[in-house]
Amino acid sequence: MNIKSIAKMAGVSVATVSKIINNYSDIGEETKQRVLKIMEETGYKPSSSAKTLATKKSNLIGVVFAGALNSDLNHPFFVSVINAFKKQIGLLGYDLLFFSNETFFDSKEDYWARCRHFQVDGCIIIAGDEVEASVHQLDQSDIPCIGIDIPLTGNNSAYIMSDNAKISAKVVEHLYMNGYRETGFLGIERHSEVVSLREQAFKESLRTFGLPVNPDWFIYSKDFDEESGYQAMKKLIATGRLPKAMFAVTDLLAFGAMRAMKEHRLKIPEDMALIGCDDIDACQYTDPALTTVKQDKEKIGKLAAIMLYDMINKQIEPSAILIEPEMVVRQSCGVR
């Protein structure tokens, strides 16, 4: 079933059918109704590939999970963002093409090439750390790109990220207002853009409030997982000199720290308060429930869709947006 058969059945030209499909206004009402009816009856749907070939528009958005680290459909933060993005971009008439990172032609992960191959209209780039070079190539190309947690610089690129500095500022403010003066920080040894931002801002905020920045209380886990957080916290506890509160840059690390603290019979928050970051679902279910900072994933995803749409349709200049984080106060570091 193709446009030609529809045209024949309706006794019109393919050009006319095409115009009806694409909602041109200069078509006679009765012709239009007649053709529409036939399309309905036959269950005809135009071929996307033929249309893409003719128009160079695919109505597809490429989804790139960039970075060797932390970027995967298993990462709860990114999944929520993508989910919100998918909903909004769907309303705007686009479907999503997920590049499967495994193999593609000979070149490994040449994202730009794959975008051209499929003629995607735009891309969303979701980034963890250790981002590969080909992402930057895509960023610099003429394909509109919206980055999540990655500062893109291309002429057709924009990006959105949580205001990481503000995350730390809010944490420090919360701690300060609730009487915590001696505070520690649980970071990660591996390099991570986002984590660095949080750490810098945390130190600055401490200084702003005149709180001590004690290097002994700045500890670093080997990796991003719970176990690493647990190990790091155990070491700190072993020193015997503990702060009254701890900020972990990630909820998962906070879970690990919590486990270590419980093991050593430290009461949370009485002996030491604990704050995580991200507000993944599990925070509600720990005991005590984890106080954390929420990134507004819904908003980030939705905004990404709207901005990308506008970029594709040349309605805005690319820019960078920082999203306001929000303290979620639970029992692990509550209001005194």
Partner DNA sequence: CTGAAAGCGCTTACAG
Residues that bind DNA (CB under 7 A): 2-4, 11-16, 18-19, 21-22, 26-29, 31-32, 44, 46-47, 50-51, 53-55
**Which one among 68, 91, 316, 320 touches a copy of itself, defined by CB under 8 A?**
91
Name the residue nearer to DNA (CB basis): 27 or 237: 27
Q: Which of DNA, a copy of itself, none has residue 287 at its interface (CB below 5 to 8 Å by kind)?
A: a copy of itself
| Amino acid identity, position 65 | F
58 touches a copy of itself (CB under 8 A): yes
Site pattern 216..245 for a copy of itself (x: CB under 8 A): ----------x-------------------
Nearest distance, CB of residue 146 and a copy of itself, angstroms: 16
Q: Which range binds a copy of itself by CB under 8 A, 92-100, 153-161, 208-216, 317-325?
A: 92-100
**Residue 102 contacts which entry, DNA, a copy of itself, none (Cβ below 5-8 A, type-dependent):** a copy of itself
When binding is defined by CB under 8 A, the residue of 71, 183, 286, 291 that contacts a copy of itself is: 286
Site for a copy of itself in 143-202 (CB under 8 A): none
- Nearer to a copy of itself among residue 76 and residue 334 (C-beta): 76
Q: 43 or 210, CB closer to DNA?
A: 43
* SS3 of the chain: CCHHHHHHHHCCCHHHHHHHHCCCCCCCHHHHHHHHHHHHHHCCCCCHHHHHHHHCCCCEEEEEEECCECCCCCCHHHHHHHHHHHHHHHHCCCEEEECCCCCCCCCCCCHHHHHHHHCCCEEEEEECECCCHHHHHHHHCCCCEEEECCCCCCCCEEEEEECHHHHHHHHHHHHHHCCCCCEEEEEECCCCHHHHHHHHHHHHHHHHCCCCCCHHHEEEECCCCHHHHHHHHHHHHHHCCCCCEEEECCHHHHHHHHHHHHHCCCCCCCCCEEECCECCHHHHCCCCCCEEEECCHHHHHHHHHHHHHHHHCCCCCCCEEEECCEEECCHHHCCC
Query: Which amino acid is located at 143 in the chain?
Result: I
Smallest gap from Cβ 21 to a copy of itself, in A, equals: 10
Q: Is residue 80 a contact point for a copy of itself (CB under 8 A)?
A: yes
**Is residue 140 involved in binding a copy of itself (CB under 8 A)?**
no
* 282 is a contact residue toward a copy of itself (CB under 8 A): yes
Q: Could you tell which of DNA, a copy of itself, none binds residue 308, using a CB distance below 5 to 8 A set by kind?
A: none
